[in-house]
Amino acid sequence: MDNLTSTRRNFLQQVGFGGGSAFLSNLVHASTQANRNPEGREKSLILLWQDGGPSHFETFDPKPDAPLEFRGELGAIATAIPGVQFCEVLPRLSQLANRFSIVRSIHQPSSGHVVGTHNFITGHEGSPVVNGKSLYPDLASIIHRMRSEASRPTSLLIGESTDPRLAAGMLNANGVSANPLPGQSELPNYVGIGGQYSIGLHRGGPAYLGPAAGAFEVAGDPSLPDFQVQNLRRSATRQQFSDRLHILRQLNLFGQTGTPQAASPDVALDLRGQMSAIDRFQKQAFDLLSGSGQAARAFDLSRETRRTRERYGLNTAGQQALMARRLVEAGVRVTAIRFSPDGRGDGDRSGIGWDDHAVHGNIFQVMRRRGPQFDQAVSTLIEDLEERGLRDRVLVVLAGEFGRTPRVHNHKGCPGREHWGPAGNVLIYGGGLTMGQVIGATNAKGERPADRPLKPQDVLATIYHCLGINPAQTLINQVGRPVAILPSGTPISELIS
């Protein structure tokens, strides 16, 4: 190996792209593909991940006519869709049911957290797991990679005003910012948000796409008065950052004098293009770490009115949902939240999330406490996006890895539900899809799909379709082989018709 090749490799490792040529190959290849569907390219995704697996009975698929040991203690209430009922703890979402769609017939083969989550967020069923991570990238990392080199206009420079008319008025007919301002800082394409325990899609990751396809992570509780985004706290002066950036640019110039190396016989790398892309990543990191520009404003919830913050709920889940709205409004393309409204009074410090086993507490008491926060945060997010004219530009998906057991389990007199891969549900809002539907159904006891059985891969195919990404496209893995983004699955026709 010559000195120049070694220097380039060391440089890539130092700036955090240890994936080397596979990462750079995908960077160039994905950028070409991402520009082929301009309509989907302008859409953003908010993924509310119900880590642990939510009960379909105590959310959107109650069974009021089933025996008590199946239906549980909580009742069912009517919704805005005739003949459709939700759990009693969701009155606001029940009244908005005609504004979103529910898929009630999701099923998958795994009832384990790790494999079940990987099946859902990667689409590669039963894929090998190494140190808790899949060998395949999750959907958020793929969307981020596909967007990384695409033309991504900034929708709105967030300032003091939160007037919904401003958000809609600054977008032209193509959804592009009508008044881009010079010198705006770049926001990350992908933000992961979490609380005390874990962040975003914590069991996922970019895998062979390289660390640059991972999330910009936001931890902590945004409802607290002293909340700050840790990654935006400066540990050096702006001049020190500038000096470091200058050194990295000098390394770029040195690297560009070399001879491009191929990742495999099938992949030709344009080194100049790679270094240019890396330079843009460096600039984005500089803007974020220096706490300057748009990034700091987008994450600053204090710029919202007290009324708006109260409308979402002055709790972790409510303020996370508000932050997601601010981020997509500012131009972030993927926001993934580990969405766990507090049902146990511990701020989810236990990390239990939606994993409502009997040994973790009385599921019905937990849902009576969690339900109002969950109901308020999600319903307000939907209403707020509509009021701001963002319904067709933002896709919201609420899901967890699986549902819970139909029969209530009792542990020393405490009721709960165990893991259940054979049935679950997903909420989908916006993105230009068809709303006001309940798709599929489970049987009378909620055990398995009885109509229109669908899998997580079908949900992923729908998301990719909505965002203008071809799921049959291949990316290059760590050994230089092409791998399809999604090996199976079909967009849900009822949503895209």
Judged against a pLDDT cut of 90, whether residue 56 lies above it is answered with: yes
pLDDT on residue 155:
37
Q: Where are the domains of the chain?
A: 35-234+291-496
> Is the Cβ–Cβ distance between 463 and 139 less than 8 Å?
yes
Among 241-255, 261-275, 481-495, which stretch is predicted with the lowest mean pLDDT?
Answer: 261-275
pLDDT recorded at residue 13: 42
Percent of residues, the chain, with pLDDT higher than 70: 71
Whether the pLDDT of residue 440 is over 60: the answer is yes
pLDDT recorded at residue 184: 40
How far is Cα 59 from Cα 425, in angstroms, rounded to an integer?
A: 9
Binned at pLDDT 50, 70 and 90, residue 78 comes out as very high
* CA distances for 268 relative to 213, 260, 487, angstroms: 21, 8, 25
Residue 465: pLDDT over 70:
yes
463-475 average pLDDT score:
96
Q: What is the model's pLDDT at position 165?
A: 34
Strand 76-78 versus strand 85-87 pairing type: antiparallel
Instruction: Supply φ then ψ for residue 133, to 5 degrees.
Output: -115, 145
Bridge partners (DSSP) of residue 482 are 476
**Is-contact 208 140, C-beta < 8 A?**
no
The residue with tokens 């607290």 is: 224
154 pLDDT band (50/70/90 cuts)?
very low
Pairwise pLDDT comparison (450 vs 30), residue with the higher score: 450
What distance in Å separates the CA atoms of residue 255 and residue 275, rounded to the nearest whole number?
8
Predicted pLDDT of residue 90: 98
Both structure tokens of 189: 């394409």
Is pLDDT of 276 > 80?
no
- Residue 343 banded pLDDT, cuts 50, 70, 90: confident
In this predicted structure, the answer to whether residue 306 has a pLDDT above a threshold of 50 is yes
| Coil, strand or helix at 426 | strand
Sheet holding 44-49, edge to edge: 216-218, 190-193, 334-338, 44-49, 394-399, 424-430, 101-106, 438-439
Helix pair 271-289, 238-255: axis angle to 10 deg: 170
pLDDT of the residue at 176: 41
Among the listed residues 373, 456, 425, the one whose alpha carbon sits nearest the alpha carbon of residue 84: 425
Give me 123's structure tokens: 């689409």
441 or 249, which is more confident? 441
What Å distances lie between residue 410 and 137, 359, 414, 416, 429, CA to CA? Answer: 37, 9, 5, 6, 35
Give the pLDDT score at 161.
30
Task: Give the confidence band of 321 by pLDDT, cuts at 50, 70, 90.
Answer: very high
| pLDDT at residue 42 in the model | 85
Structure-model confidence comparison of residues 34 and 294, the more confident one:
294
Q: Please give the Cα distance from 47 to 29 (Å, whole number).
A: 25
Given a cut of 80, is residue 170 above it in pLDDT? no
Q: What is the pLDDT of residue 296?
A: 78
Q: What whole-number distance in Å separates Cα of residue 421 and Cα of residue 424?
A: 7
- Bridge partners (DSSP) of residue 416 are 409
Mean pLDDT value across the chain: 81
Residues 469-493 have a mean pLDDT of 95
Most confident of the following: 133-142, 151-160, 235-244, 284-293: 133-142
Residue 378 has pLDDT above 70, yes or no: yes
Is residue 428 within 8 Å of 440, Cβ to Cβ?
Answer: no
Instruction: Give yes or no for residue 254 having a pLDDT over 60.
Output: no
Check residue 96 and give its pLDDT. 98
- What is the rounded average pLDDT of the residues 96-105? 98
pLDDT category of residue 449 using cuts at 50, 70 and 90: very high
Could you identify the residue written with the tokens 């600053």?
300
pLDDT band at 186 (very low <50, low <70, confident <90, very high): low
Contacts of 397 (CB under 8 A, 6+ apart): 45, 46, 47, 48, 426, 427, 428, 429, 459, 463
Q: Between 128 and 218, whose confidence is greater?
A: 218
Greater confidence (334 vs 6) lies with 334
Q: Is residue 82's pLDDT more than 50?
A: yes
Top CATH class, 35-234+291-496: alpha beta
* The two structure tokens encoding residue 318: 């409510």
CA distance 399 to 339: 9
3-state secondary structure at position 4: helix
Confidence of residue 15 (pLDDT cuts 50, 70, 90): very low
User: pLDDT by residue (tens digit) across 196-210?
Assistant: 678 999 999 999 999
Query: For the stretch 319-356, what's the b/e string if a residue is b when 16 or more beta carbons lie within 10 angstroms of its beta carbon?
Result: bbbbbbbbbbbbbbbbbbbbbbbbbbeebbeebbbbbb
* CB contact at 8 A, 104 and 440: yes
What is residue 30's predicted lDDT score, i.e. its pLDDT? 44
Q: Residues in the chain, how many?
A: 497
192 closest CA partner among 177, 182, 203: 203
Distances (CA, A) of 431 to 49, 73, 394: 18, 35, 5
Distance CA 422, CA 494 (A): 22
- Torsion sign over Cα 247, 252, 257, 258: positive
From the list 326, 322, 396, the residue with the least C-alpha distance to 44 is 396
Band the pLDDT of 54: cuts 50, 70, 90.
very high
Give the pLDDT confidence score for residue 297 in this predicted structure: 86
Look at the pTM and tell me if it is higher than 0.85.
no
